[in-house]
Amino acid sequence: MSATDVILITGTSSGFGRLIAETLAGKGYTVYASMRQVTGRNAAAGDALRSLAEREGLSLHVIDLDVTDEGSVERAVQTVIARTGRIDVLINNAGFGIAGLNETYTLEDVQRQFDTNVFSVVRMNRAVLPHMRHQRSGLIIYISSGGGRTIIPFLGFYNASKFALEALAESYHYQLYGLGIDSVIVEPGRYATAVSVNSPRPSDPARAAGYGEIGIQLEQAATDFMASFSAPSCPDPQEVADAVAELVAMPPGARPLRVPIGAPASLEPLNQVLAQVQTNILERLGLAWLMKRDSP
């Protein structure tokens, strides 16, 4: 990537998104840091990024984008295109995680979880891909999780949403690689962000009563897990922003499909086995050519 490249990031009001925006802008890229409600409850977060841009002379621009609203997504992408004429990197980062007993969450709760963590990606990619395909180049980074490959018993819907994200991202990878567009799935472990504060509570907590000791233990484990994000021992999320910056800087076509960071580094052998299984599947289907650049 060249320093003049244009990068659009979702969910930059806090956590990984904010650090990724600051880190990439600090390296000289043109960064569009998007967040929802930029004139409302995220006004302070937007102002903080704008002040940083002004202070340090960065090409860092704050725009409004709610990943659950198709009109908002379209408007934001059109704004970037109108100002710069291109989008070189899309970072699908916005997300949250619900924790506890599955049965305490209503269908509406779960739909919101999938809308933000999974369908957001469909909206973002549909808006951005015509421009990347026209450019015949691009990079899409998906912020998944170690929980996109393994299950924590009290994170059922979060795990399901990240498993879905992983499947979706890998299918985009096969469909886009030959068109010059790279895909990378980043799988962080636990890092000190606002993710636990931003985790909505279940709408039907009374359902927990029927679970007896199993419910008590699982709810306690979920509470302890969420509290651990603000413990001093929780790793610095800048590690993830730095890893993303390295991926952006890598030459097109040479980027890995999956990058586990932190504790999920132990997923590497699983990822390798599954990558081999996938290669076999593509070969059996006569589709191995999808993994080559400039294929028909």
Check residue 159 for interaction with ligand NAP (CB under 6 A). Answer: no
228 belongs to the catalytic site: no
Query: In the complex, what is the shortest distance from the CB of residue 216 to ligand NAP, in angstroms, rounded to a whole number?
Result: 25
Q: Which stretch, 15-23, 82-90, 217-225, 242-250, contacts ligand NAP (CB under 6 A)?
A: 15-23
Q: 3, 40 in Cβ contact below 8 A?
A: no
Distance CA 283, CA 178 (A): 16
Query: In the complex, what is the shortest distance from the CB of residue 242 to ligand NAP, in angstroms, rounded to a whole number?
Result: 14
Angle at 240 between CA 25 and CA 259, to 5 degrees: 115
Cross-strand partners of 141: 91, 184
Q: Which stretch, 89-97, 124-132, 205-213, 246-254, contacts ligand NAP (CB under 6 A)?
A: 89-97
Of 100, 188, 202, 260, the one binding ligand NAP (CB under 6 A) is 188
Check residue 30 for interaction with ligand NAP (CB under 6 A). Answer: no
Of 1, 5, 15, 140, the one binding ligand NAP (CB under 6 A) is 15
Burial class (CB in 10 A: 0-12, 13-18, 19+), 148: buried
Check residue 95 for interaction with ligand NAP (CB under 6 A). Answer: yes
Q: Which is nearer to ligand NAP, 38 or 58 (CB)?
A: 38
Of 46, 97, 100, 202, the one binding ligand NAP (CB under 6 A) is 97
145 belongs to the catalytic site: no
32 belongs to the catalytic site: no
Of 145, 159, 183, 271, the one binding ligand NAP (CB under 6 A) is 145
What is the contact surface with ligand NAP in residues (CB under 6 A)?
Answer: 10-11, 13-17, 35-36, 42, 66-68, 93-97, 116, 143, 145, 188, 190-191, 193-195, 198
* Residues carrying an active site annotation: 13, 144, 158, 162
